């Protein structure tokens, strides 16, 4: 599959590394436009402008949302013959994308960073996309992890916020576990190592097990034992649930503000 990628930093770069590692895309079939060269797989051409070459199978937008107008002004005419344009920009919906890039079918995705190891989530919203566009996007996204299409905007907003921002919250949780270990007297290196492997082992188990995370927590917590006392703190007045609900609400609120900033009157 031949790709033009306009903006390929942390997020689009993570996707690209997986696409090439999985073989779904060949490095020589990718042209990246970035402001400056980034650390990308060998063979991928990076430049400051699109090439004078045949139109690709897909155009991927991976710049910051604030750069949407700038790149649209510069590249919309040149990508107008491409069949599909995929945006990962938070707060940019299909209407905002389609109005700036007339021609290609607009597809909005919300990926997350673990796509780089094939264990990410890609939420997709393109309710008006043709079967051909859906098939093309599905084939590209398949190696990245869990791929879910949401035809309703609300479902996409919630799923995209949960998966897109979620890794950052889990990374914080790992740090918080380590900090708690340090507070109990562990050396920083030991605390960080123990917290990381505890988190990765538990996450792998939750992903692989037929038991729910709640049932797995119960399996750790012996009646009258240490874990139950700890869980009682997290569960008191649903403290952790309430904190994460507020966290996700704040992220979604910001997403809506960003969407309003991109909306045209």
Ligand X SMILES: O=C(O)[C@@H]1CCC=N1
What tokens were used for 31?
Answer: 């042209």
181 has binding-site annotation: no
Residue 75 Cα distances to 85, 100, 146, angstroms: 12, 10, 31
164 binds ligand X (CB under 6 A): yes
Which secondary structure element, helix H or strand E, spans residue 107, and what is its range?
strand 105-111
Residues 98-137, one symbol each (x = binds ligand NAI by CB under 6 A, - = not), give ------------xxxx------------------------
156 contacts 110 by C-beta, under 8 angstroms: yes
253 binds ligand NAI (CB under 6 A): no
What tokens were used for 140?
Answer: 């590209």
Tell the smallest beta-carbon distance from residue 153 to ligand NAI (Å). Answer: 17
71 binds ligand X (CB under 6 A): no
Q: For ligand X, give the closer residue by CB, 3 or 90.
A: 90
What tokens were used for 82?
Answer: 């491409």
Q: For ligand X, give the closer residue by CB, 28 or 257.
A: 257
Q: For ligand NAI, give the closer residue by CB, 113 or 137.
A: 113
- Which among 94, 127, 96, 89 is positioned nearest to 110, based on CA atoms? 89
Q: For ligand X, give the closer residue by CB, 243 or 250.
A: 250
Tell the smallest beta-carbon distance from residue 107 to ligand NAI (Å). Answer: 14
Residue least distant from ligand NAI (Cβ):
9
- Which among 85, 183, 87 is positioned nearest to 136, based on CA atoms? 85
Residue 264 DSSP class: -
192 contacts 202 by C-beta, under 8 angstroms: no
- Per partner kind, with CB cut-offs from 5 to 8 A, the member of ligand NAI, ligand X, none near residue 123 is none
Footprint (CB under 6 A) of ligand NAI, residues 71-100: 71, 88-90
15 binds ligand NAI (CB under 6 A): no
10 has binding-site annotation: yes
Q: For ligand NAI, give the closer residue by CB, 175 or 218.
A: 175
79 contacts 59 by C-beta, under 8 angstroms: yes
DSSP labels, 42-72: TT-EEESS--SS---SEEEE-S-GGGHHHHH
11 has binding-site annotation: yes
List of residues contacting ligand NAI (CB under 6 A): 6-12, 33-36, 38, 62-65, 67, 70-71, 88-90, 110-113, 164
């Amino acid at each position: 599959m031949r790709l033009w990628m306009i903006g390929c930093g942390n997020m689009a770069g993570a996707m690209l590394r997986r696409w090439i590692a999985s073989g779904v895309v060949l490095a020589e079939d990718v042209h990246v436009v970035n402001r400056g060269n980034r650390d990308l797989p060998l063979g991928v051409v990076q430049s400051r402008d699109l090439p004078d070459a045949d139109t690709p199978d897909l155009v991927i937008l991976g710049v910051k949302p604030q750069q949407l107008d700038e790149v649209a002004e510069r590249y919309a005419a040149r990508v107008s013959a491409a069949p599909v344009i995929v945006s990962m920009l938070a707060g940019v919906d299909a209407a905002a994308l389609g109005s700036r890039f007339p021609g290609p079918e607009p597809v909005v995705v919300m990926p997350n960073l673990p796509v780089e190891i094939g264990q990410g989530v890609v939420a997709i919203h393109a309710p008006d996309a043709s079967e051909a566009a859906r098939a093309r996007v599905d084939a590209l996204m398949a190696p990245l992890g869990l791929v879910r299409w949401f035809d309703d905007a609300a479902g996409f907003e919630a799923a995209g916020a949960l998966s897109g921002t979620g890794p950052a919250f889990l990374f914080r949780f790992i740090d918080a576990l380590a900090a708690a270990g340090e507070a109990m007297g562990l050396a920083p290196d030991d605390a960080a190592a123990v917290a990381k492997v505890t988190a990765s082992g538990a996450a792998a188990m939750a992903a692989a097990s037929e038991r729910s995370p709640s049932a797995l927590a119960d399996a750790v917590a012996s009646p009258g034992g240490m874990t139950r006392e700890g869980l009682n703190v997290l569960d008191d007045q649903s403290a952790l649930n309430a904190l994460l609900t507020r966290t996700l609400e704040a992220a979604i609120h910001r997403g809506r503000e960003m969407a309003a900033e991109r909306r045209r009157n």
